Amino acid sequence: MRKYFSAVLMMSLISLETQGIDLSNHDFIDLSYAYNEDTIYWPTSPSKFSLKRLAHGQTEAGYFFAANTFATPEHGGTHIDASIHFHAMGRTVDQIPLEQLFLPGVLIDISDKTLHDRNYRLTREDVLLFEATHGQIATGTAVLLRTGWGKFWPDVKAYLGDDTSCDDSNLMFPSFGESAVRLLVEERKVALIGLDAASIDYGPSKDFIVHRIVSEHNVPGIENLANLDKLPATGFMLVALPVKIEGGSGGPVRAVALVPKHQ
């Protein structure tokens, strides 16, 4: 599958080259939340983000100097799930090929359906309906899902559906569904999925079937994306570079969309 992703990356680079790689013709959309005391983590996470000041001020030599130390669990805030997160033979975060982190993207919007169902899951029919309007999703594409949940960040109870510490049994939020992901990963052979909610499995999930499917196929997932309401349905590039943690099951990711200004 990697050769397909490489071909898509090359086509994307050629496309940018034909445009003169003039980044002034693109809008840059920041799809990541900053890490701070409000960053949302899974309820069972043993810790959250912390930033400790090591130095901040004038030195004896007369110049300013600042430095900090930070700590965070891998899975919180805008972060990527590497395949080893749910598959023993999956790639670790440092092993994710670059062509799966710099790739063309499409956005499927189900925010109208989640208004009436907090636990709505993207269906195969939803994907086919999207394709009927925008064309078949190409191999090597990043598929982002807009649930509308970004409007709740960083309100933990509104975002997760429950704010009980150390208890994830009552979560309620929308996400991908099994039938949709099987179509995307097994038939369309997409390279990455992501969304603006806390997990690529919906809140009440107990079997985490979506995580298991994508991990088996070495397809990363990005959770807690920001500003998906600013993206078009098609025609943008996604750059999603995680902290390169050797052996990591995931980690913070700075995700950016490049959207042509003519769209």
Strand partners, 106: 143
Could you give the CA distance from residue 228 to residue 216 in angstroms, rounded to a whole number? 27
DSSP single-letter state for residue 60: T
Tokens of 230: 């600013």
Contact assessment for residue 218 and residue 81, using Cβ atoms and an 8 Å cutoff: no
Could you give the CA distance from residue 78 to residue 254 in angstroms, rounded to a whole number? 8
Could you give the CA distance from residue 240 to residue 225 in angstroms, rounded to a whole number? 11
Contact assessment for residue 79 and residue 242, using Cβ atoms and an 8 Å cutoff: yes
Which of 85, 211, 217, 262 is the catalytic position? 85
- Residue of 111, 188, 109, 178 whose CA lies nearest to 142: 188
- Residue of 47, 37, 77 whose CA lies nearest to 252: 77
- Residue of 90, 42, 79, 44 whose CA lies nearest to 212: 90
Dihedral, CA of residue 146, residue 151, residue 155 and residue 160, to nearest 10? -30
Residue 79 bears catalytic tag: no
Could you please report the per-residue DSSP string of 17-53? HHTTT-GGGEEEEE--PPPSTT--B-TT-S---EEEE
What does R_g of the chain's alpha carbons equal in angstroms?
19
Residues with a known catalytic role: 85
